[in-house]
């Protein structure tokens, strides 16, 4: 079976980490099975859609290494949707409704007050031609609803197992607005059929929509795609992520130094980020991907956890893998320097400060001049290696009767200008004896 999947964002804003999860999960599955990856822009809402947002989404996906095989804009496919709508009208499954939003909201309030679910009463289904003409004469334009079968719809979900929705509990969905524009449902089904989508992989907020779409697939005599509804990322308050959360947009996360592989790893998160180890290569995620491993319950998204994932990724990144990127960013560091400092990085840009400590000049932070002078007098001659620091500190400890923070803190501040950082044993040979002599003397070096 040739797999075809689609990622279908609305270009009404930049995608955030929640949207990106859909793109990445689809990508991993498609890469594992082979086939076709479609980027479909659901831009039927002319007023809110923007080509600039579409362009930004393409760039964000490219940064994540997601290159679609095909890019589709729904705004260029209206003739397909109109043909489908006419078929529904001809069979009496798409009917015009003339209620205003205020009238519909009043009906819902009354239903709730009577303890009934706010399900559309199908009043417009029974309008005569004369009544319809009267509404038209009043200047009202209809919205069009899909007549549901009011039966149980079941399917096997690749993530959630057997799902059953009783469409008696649902309002007949609006497929076409009063202005003639299409809502999500009909174009989505028409495109899935037309493009041969075999697997619809999306968030759990679409589970109910699936029952409606299955009815549409069956009306048009189409084979059903397989469905997989993964759990959503939520905030600490249990809310789903929003496009308005600009701090979580892919563009902002990229600016903040988040690694694409940290996001890829988080996309298939099954537990807390404390226990989840990021993969260093997409191929590893592709090979191990499985819908069964995806969590069925909502997953709390915390940017701090993402940065923790980011740090874990950098801490295990080989020099050969990272060096081309370092060179592109203007770094010129050796493998020993990378290995010495990577364990202290949360994001790659932080390498700059350690490059400066080792290869540039710093203003030493001098506490306890007498102690530093003694440390300077005991500094061994070169050549140095990673055992030099241990030997030097042991001699210094014996001479001063210091240990722990009392011993190490003044040395670290003088030699690096920072209270914390990589192991001094690794840094000393890289900084070199000449600079260390000057820094212990309180001089810029």
383-436 pLDDT, tens digit each: 888 888 888 889 888 888 888 888 888 889 988 988 898 998 899 999 999 999
- Answer whether residue 380 is part of any domain: yes
- Answer whether residue 338 is part of any domain: no
Co-location of 194 and 285 in the same domain:
yes
Domain stop point among 279, 299, 316: 316
Give the Cβ contact number of residue 36 at 10 Å: 17
Co-location of 126 and 161 in the same domain:
no
What pLDDT does 274 receive?
Answer: 42
Co-location of 187 and 57 in the same domain:
yes
Domain stop point among 262, 290, 316: 316
Rounded-to-integer distance, Cα 445 and Cα 436, Å = 8
- Answer whether residue 324 is part of any domain: no
Range of the domain at 385: 361-440
Co-location of 237 and 300 in the same domain:
yes
What pLDDT does 277 receive?
Answer: 66
Co-location of 384 and 395 in the same domain:
yes
Q: For the sheet with 161-166, list strands across it.
A: 161-166, 152-157, 226-230, 199-203
Per-residue H/E/C for the chain: CCEEEEECCCCCCCCEHHHHHHHHHHHHHHHHHCEEEEEEECCCCCCCCCHHHHHHHHHHHHHCCCCCCEEEEHHHCHHHHHHHHHHHHHCCCEEEECCCHHHHHHHHHHHHHCCCCCCCCCHHHHCCHHHHHHHHHCCCCCEEEECCCCCEEEEEECCCEEEEEEHHHCCCCEEECCCCCECCHHHHHHHHHHCCCCEEEEEHHHHHHHHHHHHHHHHCCCCCCEEEEECCEECCCCCECCCCCHHHEHHHHHHCCCCHHHHHHHHCCCCCCCCCCCCCCHHHHHHHCCHHHCCCCCEECCHHHHHHHHHHHHHCCCHHHHHHHHHHCCCCCCHHHHHHHHHHCCCHHHHHHHHHHHHCCCCCCCCCHHHHHHHHHCCCCCCCCCCHHHHHHHHHHHHHCCCHHHHHHHHHHHHHCCCCCCCHHHHHHHHCHHHHHHHHCCCCC
Co-location of 301 and 436 in the same domain:
no
With vertex at residue 437, the alpha carbon angle to CA 431 and CA 438, rounded to the nearest 5 degrees, is 95
What pLDDT does 272 receive?
Answer: 40
The count of structural domains within the chain is: 3
Provide the terminal-to-terminal Cα distance of the chain, rounded to the nearest Å.
65
Block means of pLDDT (10 residues each) for the chain, 445 residues, are 92 88 93 95 89 94 94 96 98 95 91 91 92 92 96 96 95 95 96 97 94 97 96 75 68 88 76 55 86 81 84 91 88 91 92 91 87 87 88 88 86 89 90 90 86
With vertex at residue 325, the alpha carbon angle to CA 324 and CA 329, rounded to the nearest 5 degrees, is 120
Co-location of 231 and 253 in the same domain:
yes
Express each pLDDT in 35-65 by its tens digit.
Answer: 999 999 999 988 888 999 999 999 999 999 9
Co-location of 80 and 114 in the same domain:
no
Co-location of 288 and 387 in the same domain:
no
Co-location of 138 and 71 in the same domain:
no
CB 69 within 8 A of CB 31: no
Give the Cβ contact number of residue 400 at 10 Å: 15
- Answer whether residue 256 is part of any domain: yes
Co-location of 36 and 79 in the same domain:
yes
Rounded-to-integer distance, Cα 2 and Cα 420, Å = 53
Co-location of 214 and 305 in the same domain:
yes
Stated pTM of the model: 0.85
Q: What is the CATH number of the domain that holds 136?
A: 3.90.800.10
- Answer whether residue 346 is part of any domain: no
- Answer whether residue 24 is part of any domain: yes
- Answer whether residue 202 is part of any domain: yes
Q: What is the CATH number of the domain that holds 381?
A: 1.10.10.350
- Answer whether residue 281 is part of any domain: yes
What pLDDT does 273 receive?
Answer: 42
What pLDDT does 306 receive?
Answer: 85
């Amino acid at each position: 079976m040739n797999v075809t999947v689609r990622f279908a964002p609305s270009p009404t804003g930049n995608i955030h980490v929640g949207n990106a999860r859909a793109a990445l999960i689809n990508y991993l599955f498609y890469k594992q099975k082979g086939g076709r990856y479609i980027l479909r822009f659901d831009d039927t809402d002319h007023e809110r859609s923007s080509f600039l947002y579409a362009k930004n989404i393409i760039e964000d996906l490219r940064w994540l290494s997601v290159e679609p095989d095909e890019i589709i804009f729904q705004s260029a496919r209206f003739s397909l949707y109109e043909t489908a709508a006419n078929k529904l009208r001809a069979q009496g499954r798409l009917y015009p409704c003339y209620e205003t939003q205020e009238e519909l909201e009043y009906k819902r309030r009354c239903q709730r007050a009577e303890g009934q679910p706010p399900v559309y009463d199908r009043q417009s289904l029974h309008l005569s031609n004369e009544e319809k003409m009267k509404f038209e004469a009043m200047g009202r334009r209809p919205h069009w609803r899909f007549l549901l079968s009011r039966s149980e719809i079941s399917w096997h979900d690749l993530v959630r197992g057997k799902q059953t929705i009783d469409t008696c509990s649902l309002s007949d969905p609006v497929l076409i607005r009063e202005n003639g524009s299409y809502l999500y449902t009909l174009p989505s089904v028409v495109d899935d059929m037309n493009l041969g989508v075999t697997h619809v992989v999306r968030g759990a907020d679409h589970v109910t929509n699936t029952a409606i779409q299955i009815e549409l697939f069956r009306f048009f005599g189409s084979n059903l795609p397989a469905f997989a509804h993964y759990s959503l990322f939520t905030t600490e308050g249990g809310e789903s992520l929003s496009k308005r959360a600009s701090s979580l947009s892919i563009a902002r996360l990229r600016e903040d130094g988040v690694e694409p592989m940290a996001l890829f790893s988080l996309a298939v998160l099954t537990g807390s980020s404390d226990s989840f180890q990021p993969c260093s290569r997409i191929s590893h995620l592709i090979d191990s991907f499985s819908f069964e491993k995806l969590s069925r319950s909502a997953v709390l998204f915390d940017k701090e956890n993402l940065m923790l994932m980011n740090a874990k990724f950098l801490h295990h990144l080989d020099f050969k893998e990272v060096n081309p990127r370092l060179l592109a960013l203007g770094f010129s560091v050796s493998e020993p320097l990378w290995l010495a400092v990577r364990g202290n990085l949360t994001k790659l840009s932080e390498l700059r400060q350690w490059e400066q400590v080792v290869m540039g000049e710093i203003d030493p932070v001098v506490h306890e001049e007498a102690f530093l002078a003694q440390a300077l007098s005991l500094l061994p001659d070169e050549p140095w290696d990673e055992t030099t620091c241990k030997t030097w500190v042991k001699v210094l400890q014996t001479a001063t009767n210091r240990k722990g923070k009392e011993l190490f803190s003044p040395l670290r501040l003088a030699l690096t200008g920072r209270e914390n950082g990589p192991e001094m044993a690794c840094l000393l040979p890289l900084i070199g004896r000449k600079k260390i002599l000057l820094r212990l003397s309180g001089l810029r070096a």
